Amino acid sequence: MCMCQLKKMYQRMIFVSSSSIHLKTNMMSLNSSVNRLYLSLGSVANYSSSKKYYDIVIAGGGMVGCAMACKLSKEAALRGMSILLLEGGPNRKEYDLSLKKNTLDKNYSNRVSAVSKSSVQLLQSIGAWQIIEDLGRNNAVKEMRIWNSGAGRSGGINNVLTFDNDNDLAYIVENDTILGALYNQINEDQNITVNYNSRVNQCNLSDSHRDLAIVKVANGDISFETSLLIGSDGYGSKVRSAISGQQYISWEYGQRAVVATLHIQSDEDDTYKGHVAWQKFAQLGPMALLPLDDKTCSLVWTTSYEEANRLAELSDNEFIDALNDSLSEEKESNNSSLLLADDAVHILSKVLNKYCQSNCDRQNKKIKSIPPIAVGLIKDSRASFPLGFGHACQYVGQRVALIGDAAHRIHPLAGQGVNLGFSDVTELSYQLNQSVLTGSDIGDLNALLNYQTAAQRRNVPIMLGVDGIQKIYGSKNNLVPPAIITLIRNVGLTFCQSVSIVKKLLSDKASGLPI
Amino acid sequence: MNLIAKKTNISNSFFIFRTLTQNYVKETVNAHEVEHHSNMKEYWWNSNGPLNALHSLNPLRVSFIINGLTNMKKIETKNIGTRQSLENIKILDVGCGGGLLTEALARLDGNVTGIDPSKELITIANDHSVILKNKNIKYLNESIEEHALSNTESYDAIVTSEVLEHVSNKYGFLTKCVDCLKPGGSLFVTTPNRTIYSWLSVIILGETFNFIPKGTHEWDKFICPHELQSILEINCKCDTITINGLSYDPFTNRWSWTDLTDLSYAIHAVKSA
Ligand SMILES: Cc1cc2nc3c(=O)[nH]c(=O)nc-3n(C[C@H](O)[C@H](O)[C@H](O)COP(=O)(O)OP(=O)(O)OC[C@H]3O[C@@H](n4cnc5c(N)ncnc54)[C@H](O)[C@@H]3O)c2cc1C
């Protein structure tokens, strides 16, 4: 009898102590159902500091973080969960889409993304794509033409890669239009709270499943407690460095991307006029011209630091001349060592053609492509960014996950940066939805590990592929003689062109389709 | 044909009679089993620890329970496919251990009671449940016999997952479970099969290569699906709704459903009204 009573008392004690750890206080009359405030009395260390609880905290309100917030809030199983988005920057006026409504004067921003089909699907599912379409700020890319500088004797045709898909390859959309559409959706969503000017500067992650993640913001007096912290705070991620045992592999390319919005003059007879993306593998790095409309292109010109600095000093007119020179450069063709390389390419291309004649349906389209000519540029649209590669070995930890550039940073040559980030969003929200439906905690490590496996399986090959192409074409490597570099470049291109299977593969990856 | 059916029925009853006379122990709780499981308290909630197979089984057993209750029309239409799917459903988790499954069911808004004979594990379960907010969850340190005394016909569902293989007196255990069930209520059991295959994989591979803590299982206590089915149908007045096989890949730590019940299986039975 006595034992029995003791047991009952003991159980009651456990219940009392467990409920006192999380004393729920309704101090916030506004929004009290969403912003649950938990006053922690449990541990001495946190005795006096107040903590606000959200089911999910997203650090970083860039394109990827905003899409994550919208997507999670729309998942059936996650509906009604409280989401806090912490953005380090201010509420920028560029996000106000009413400024973009005036279609006559399209004042394009200089940061644009090539949004793949799967990313469009994501944006559709959260209602953001419709907004972009209504504004008419999405331009379809129907063809991608790639050529290189060391064309040599083999002439123009061999060096033009054409992705001639039935469907559109991708859409070119300005980053701030995407962000504007996403913030529009976020502001209409009752479950999402946005705090601007809130730079995350400390994350306390515990190894124990029982503890919540704690996030602190610079200059903020309260900290946030959450069941799941999602880091979408870009390539310099604070959240990433808080994950225990994290290894981040990164290197700088020693290159910068020069961006500008150009007025161009292109071939009037071109079937795909206004819908062609151009990519040239110039000597110092790849140059991309992404079409915004018939007369306007966004330039991403990868080049050395010195050259980028030189270009920055030029006047707009001088810059346009330098650009046109670089777009049409054919300098290497006189070089005798190049001829050697060129012959090797010829041989190889023959072998490859023979080899794949039986099992490839080659479409040797003879396109004589004329590179577009820049005739002007939008005022103040020139800028430049450093380029680097980075990959986090761990995308997840106990109650934490990384998405977008926080987990992986790639060279923009394939326009995959934001697309990789958007597919992280789709994958993570799918896994979380599944796991919550079967009663798991939203921060459950098993679901997060499933996300990591799926995301890395997709991201790593694309990242290495892009890095490999970049290494072959992009860099000015002094250790390797230029002839060899040209050989590799040409082999690379000829190889791509000869094997239509590879071509198909490349174009499918570039448009984000599963292979 | 009829004759054959009768024969198997008779042999089944005979088998049950034999098990009853051979293994009849009044209490269903085995002291050394409780002690063994209590020793797991250090790592019960560590999803990367020795019990990771139990952690990764959770999504499957929860969806098995939800699907079973959906089929029996026990889940309100508005709650299907949401995280409130078990709202207003009273569930007893027998042998809840540290509360892995119990918490999952409570998180889906079930009104859940977990019972376990190990005081240590109930402490762990209570301790861990603080992360649940505003959920109906209750743990009791008692056996099913003790619980059945005052809870006759009071639950919509009884769950006993990866427990039956540790119980000697299966007949006593199951009848007490079913006593607590409302007529028309559902019983969900998951347990390994007693086959050469399960002996090889659970005892030899699993416990030798540390996928499962050593000494967790005694193979001769395992029960075959047809034995379990006969006890439920003949002695407990239940109808068997489904028997699904479960397979496990230790290298990816993933469970999946199969047609074969050789390794492990899940059974859903309903108490006759
Ligand atoms: C020149 C250039 C051209 C590119 N072109 C393309 C292209 O054509 N197609 C394409 O798909 N991709 C392209 N990319 C890549 C693409 O821009 C990025 O992959 C994408 O912006 C990543 O989005 P994100 O949301 O992960 O990170 P970011 O856009 O870097 O956003 C991070 C956000 O987090 C905030 N933040 C940072 N730190 C903190 C903190 N501690 N606390 C709170 N908030 C914080 C920042 O203010 C920012 O809003 C290009 C990149 C460059 C540099």
Cβ-defined contact of A435 to B107 (cutoff 8 Å): no
Q: Is A333 helix (H, G, I), strand (E, B) or coil?
A: helix
Q: How far is CA B169 from the centre of its chain?
A: 15
pLDDT value at position A467? 63
Q: Predicted confidence band at B250 (pLDDT cuts at 50, 70, 90)?
A: confident
Chain A with chain B: Cβ pairs closer than 8 A: 80
Q: Which chain B residues contact residue A444 at CB under 8 A?
A: 47
A484: phi > 0 → left, psi -120 to 50 → alpha, else beta; which? alpha
Task: Report which DSSP code applies to B202.
Answer: I
State ipTM.
0.81
pLDDT value at position B34? 85
pLDDT value at position B77? 93
Angstrom distances, CA of residue A471 to CA of A193, A255, A318, A489: 43, 12, 29, 10
Is the pLDDT at B101 greater than 50? The verdict is yes
pLDDT value at position A477? 45
Are A201 and A216 in contact by the 8 Å Cβ rule? The answer is yes
Cβ-defined contact of A437 to B58 (cutoff 8 Å): no
SS3 assignment for B30-65: CHHHHHHHHHHHHCCCCCCCCCHHHHHHHHHHHHHH
Are A397 and A243 in contact by the 8 Å Cβ rule? The answer is yes
Angstrom distances, CA of residue A143 to CA of A112, A272, A369, B105: 18, 7, 12, 52
**∠ CA A386-A388-A393 to the nearest 5 degrees?**
150
Are A462 and A275 in contact by the 8 Å Cβ rule? The answer is no
Q: Which chain A residues contact residue B81 at CB under 8 A?
A: 76-77, 437
Q: How far is CA A207 from the centre of its chain?
A: 29
Task: Report which DSSP code applies to A6.
Answer: H
pLDDT value at position A150? 55
User: Residues lining ligand 1, judged by CB closer than 6 Å?
Assistant: A 59-65, 86-89, 113-114, 199-200, 232-234, 238, 257, 259, 300, 385, 404-405, 412, 415-419, 421
**∠ CA A69-A74-A77 to the nearest 5 degrees?**
110
Taking only the tens place, the pLDDT of each residue in B6-62 is 434 444 444 444 343 333 344 678 888 888 888 887 788 887 777 888 888 999 999
Are A384 and A312 in contact by the 8 Å Cβ rule? The answer is yes
Token match 């290189």: residue?
A148
CA–CA gap between residue B138 and residue B92 (Å, rounded)? 10
Cβ-defined contact of A438 to B48 (cutoff 8 Å): no
> Which residue out of A405, A423, A428, A462 has the highest number of ligand 1 atoms within 8 Å of its CB and is therefore the one to mutate?
A405
pLDDT value at position B245? 96
Taking only the tens place, the pLDDT of each residue in A281-317 is 677 777 889 999 989 999 999 888 999 999 999 999 9
Taking only the tens place, the pLDDT of each residue in A60-115 is 999 999 999 999 999 989 988 999 999 999 998 777 777 776 555 667 888 899 89
Task: Report which DSSP code applies to A54.
Answer: E
CA–CA gap between residue A60 and residue A231 (Å, rounded)? 7
Atom of ligand 1 at shortest range from CA of A416 = 11
Taking CA–CA distances from A444, the nearest residue in chain B reads: B47
Token match 């798991």: residue?
A440
Which among B59, B130, B140 has CB closest to A440? Answer: B59
Query: Strands A170-174 and A112-116, how do they pair?
Result: antiparallel
**What is the mean pLDDT of the segment spanning B142-163?**
96
Are A228 and A400 in contact by the 8 Å Cβ rule? The answer is yes
CA–CA gap between residue B264 and residue A88 (Å, rounded)? 51
Burial class (CB in 10 A: 0-12, 13-18, 19+), A101: exposed
Q: How far is CA B166 from the centre of its chain?
A: 11
Cβ-defined contact of A438 to B63 (cutoff 8 Å): yes
The CA distance from A435 to the nearest CA of chain B, in Å, is 7
Task: Report which DSSP code applies to B201.
Answer: I
Q: Which chain A residues contact residue B123 at CB under 8 A?
A: 14
**Substitution target from A438, A444, A446 for chain B, most B beta carbons within 10 A:** A438
Of the candidate ranges A167-181, B76-90, B222-236, the one whose mean pLDDT is the lowest: A167-181
Q: How far is CA A108 from the centre of its chain?
A: 20
pLDDT value at position A275? 87
β-pair partners for B138: B113
Token match 């419709």: residue?
A130
Are A103 and A133 in contact by the 8 Å Cβ rule? The answer is no
Taking CA–CA distances from A81, the nearest residue in chain B reads: B83
pLDDT value at position A510? 47
Question: Which residues, in sequence order, are CB contacts of A82 under 8 Å at separation 6+?
Answer: A34, A35, A36, A53, A54, A55, A56, A191, A193
pLDDT value at position A330? 64
Q: What is this structure's pTM?
A: 0.80
Task: Of B273, B257, B242, B69, give the one whose Cα is nearest residue B158.
Answer: B69
Considering chain B, what is the average pLDDT of its residues?
A: 86
The stretches in chain A having pLDDT less than 50 are 1-48, 151-159, 332-367, 473-485, 487-488, 490-515
Q: Is A458 helix (H, G, I), strand (E, B) or coil?
A: helix
CA–CA gap between residue B120 and residue B141 (Å, rounded)? 9
Are A262 and A299 in contact by the 8 Å Cβ rule? The answer is yes
**What is the mean pLDDT of the segment spanning B152-178?**
95
Task: Of A318, A364, A436, A351, give the one whose Cα is nearest residue A72.
Answer: A436
Share of chain B above pLDDT 70, in %: 90
